[in-house]
Amino acid sequence: MKLDKIFSFLVPKDRKFFPMFNKAADNLVTTSELLIKLIRENDLEKRLDYIKEIKDAEHDGDVMTKEMLDELNGTFITPFDREDIHELISTMDSVVDYIHTTSKRIHFYKLPHFPDEFVQIADCIHSANKEIQLVLRSVKHAGDFNKFQESCIKISNLESKVDDIYQQFLSELFENETNAIDLIKKRDILASLEKAIDKCDDVANVFSTIIVKMG
């Protein structure tokens, strides 16, 4: 192996990893913004455009995930703990995956409109993703994560808010919905939305872990 390749392998890759994280975070925000538009749209034909865009964003996310994992596997000295980088990559990818799952269920189930609670949850997912984006756009090296404990708290609070909405809506759904098929459809869509915000909270937990280790 040539010396320049050895040197490249050994030098920490802050300049490579953080721009990659930024791109992935931007994709999170794009995807959750499309989710809000999809849930607000009652025209089944117009929904198809948003569903396609979400599918494209999910594909872009998969490409980014592979690139980041390849970079991780090819790097000896990482900007922070290797396991935390892997977890950050995986959890961000999972957020997009669950938004994509939600869009597929919306497409298959063809509900004419959605309860306000679905919009509220989608808004919370988008707000959480914007916090993730804020953090990853602002950090230039691992020590910068220490400045963003407040963002971790905000994301955790959004996840708790969604839990409350989820439990209350589910209780009312089983009590009041007389159409069993619609009940199943709404429950399934709600479940994938709830999984998406859970994964946002997992991203915040990775941030918190990094903060503790860097502190």
| pLDDT (0 to 100) of residue 5 | 44
d(CA 188, CA 210): 34
**The two structure tokens encoding residue 126:** 């988008």
Q: Do the Cβ atoms of 165 and 193 come closer than 8 Å?
A: no
| pLDDT (0 to 100) of residue 7 | 36
Total tally of structural domains belonging to the chain = 1
CATH number of domain containing 160 = 1.20.58.220
Q: What is the largest CA-CA distance in the chain?
A: 71
Tokens 């839990």 label which residue?
163
> Helix 180-214 vs helix 149-176: angle between axes, to the nearest 10 degrees?
160
| pLDDT (0 to 100) of residue 6 | 37
| pLDDT (0 to 100) of residue 215 | 64
Q: Do the Cβ atoms of 113 and 43 come closer than 8 Å?
A: no
**The two structure tokens encoding residue 12:** 């920490």
Range of 182's domain?
A: 3-214
Low-confidence ranges of the chain (pLDDT < 50): 1-13
